[in-house]
Structure 1
């Protein structure tokens, strides 16, 4: 079925979601998407039939599959949300695309740029919608921030600072400590500051990084310096060792913008300019959280688009290349890197 045929079929009815995985982020997505008036969650899959049935019962989902193939081949599913651990994103999203299903895939998109390129190529070859679940890019407060920066509110960007950190697990068997599962601070947390910086400045021309590594070989505390030929820089940190402010600041030649704690899901920001009172911008209400990305997916499906202009695939690939470059600088390798 082409994107245009899917768009025509989706007109006038709810978009039917299938959820692939049953963990915490899958539960949150399901709970929030079910509140949208034009969305339904109609099926869920897990590698465990018991887990799928428990999840389905908890959320009133009519069909539960104990294997992924049943979900991706379900004719009543319009789009699949992939919420597996990082290490399974390539396989799960690829399975759905091969079955002809549009996909929203959790961040980080894959373990490395090579896997990301494979998924993007598959989606483009088949004319299927594919999007990384980078909810920050769909947040209306962040979209307003991008708009006023492009309109010259702070002049030319010179520095970006952003961080994301919390005390992480010490158990060496936890997924965040396991290289095979894409563990470490970078892919779980660092993807947010990097994505934020590249949303505003594009792919960097230079990447530097330093990190504290765990005995298992994943990063626990990482500092990243990105540089652009324009002269702009971004100083970013991610940590599984300490609670950081989780804020972001964008400074330009004529002002700066500050986003308070939780910058990746901002509900406000403040514009500071010389000789004027600070100006605060806030959300207008309506949707919240993961609903923004789900609404963007549904808008794209109904309009026959195979990529979101808010979360373009080329931007996702650029972020994955930067994540790879950071791992190269700090000496972190995953088995999937080959």
Structure 2
């Protein structure tokens, strides 16, 4: 596969800036078709972004002979169906996070990739961004010594502005999203923990509703035991007052700590009483570094940047945190 010719299923708001334009900014990559159930909106997207083809039916895009790779950017409800259809057609897939509605659906997707022998990557794209690569290098260099434990707080008011805009607030419809804002934001955070600390040996959590009129849990807590005895404790609450808003992850080591916001642009390194702040420029297209890795993988030039098996572990952890 010399040039990756992409088709997007679900060319909604998330693809306007975060991902869509990046497909044409990477060597050996080109966006050739988009699909949205609303044909007029699909056409509008295509014309604004210079995409030659548009469809209102996913099967038509999947079966387009020019399209040789599929990016699935629909809400999670459709991830399993479209991923398996594309894999069955022999076309490699890059699917948005969360991988699926739940771990059972994610497992079926992973098995479909294995059975068809077609490549599947999950869009845990923070793995490829400079800020998070820097944290990984600091950990590998033992800049804070041996890691002892990790704490994370993600506290937002009900009308959070962290999530991407959408015409319909499907993220708080569990039939479409799998849950609430936890299911939209926690995949980024939990995947980074797996990326940094390896296999999760044990995990458990509690979920509840603070706003009882809400159809989804808005308070989730969870704990993970990783290899080498590293522990993680996380709290996600989407029912706090604005002045209690927080996005903070702290990695505590034997010599100091690394602090950062998963949705921020800087790292704070505290070692032996000295503090250093490392700032990063915002990325124009936040998924572009990951898409570059996906293109290289699809072309046979690199390994899978986030396999279905790895993403399945994130789904299992999320399921365990919200099972109650």
Question: What TM-score, normalized to structure 2?
Answer: 0.86
Give the match's secondary structure for 2:246: coil
Q: Give the gaps of 5 or more residues in structure 2.
A: 161-167
Cα distance in 2 for residues equivalent to 1:126 and 1:304: 20
What corresponds to 2:7 in structure 1? 18
Deviation at 1:105, TM superposition (A): 0.5
Q: Per-residue CA shift, 1:264-319, capped at 9, x if unaligned?
A: 4x5431322115x33344558987511111111111122255x51x3233321111
* 1:311 counterpart residue number: 306
Confirm or deny: 8 A CA contact 1:167 1:240 kept in the other structure: yes
Cα distance change of structure 1 residues 59 and 229 upon mapping to structure 2, 3 Å threshold: closer
Shift of 1:216: 5.3
Q: How does 1:276-295 map to 2 (within 5 A)?
A: 277-283=274-280, 288-295=285-292
- Give the drift of 1:43: 0.3
Matches of 2:136 and 2:77, distance apart in 1: 32
Q: Is 1:189 aligned to residue 185 of structure 2? A: yes
Counterpart of 1:75?
Answer: 65
Residue 206 of structure 1 pairs with residue 208 of structure 2: no
Unaligned runs of 5+ residues in structure 1 are: 1-5, 332-338
Q: Hey, what's the Cα distance between the residues in 1 that align with 2:79 and 2:272?
A: 46
Tell me the C-alpha RMSD between the 2 structures: 2.5
2:237 to 214, 234, 239: 239
How far has the Cα of 1:217 moved from its partner?
4.2
Question: Could you tell me whether the CA contact under 8 Å between 1:87 and 1:111 is conserved in 2?
Answer: yes
For residues 120-135 of structure 1, what are the structure 2 equivalents within 5 Å? 120-135=110-125
1:42 match: secondary structure = strand
Contact residue 160 and residue 250 of structure 1 kept, 8 A: yes
Query: With structure 1 as the length reference, what TM-score do the two structures score?
Result: 0.83
- Equivalence for 1:3: none
Matched ranges for 1:256-271 at <5 A:
256-259=257-260, 261=261, 263-264=262-263, 267-271=265-269
Structure 2 counterpart SS, 1:69: helix
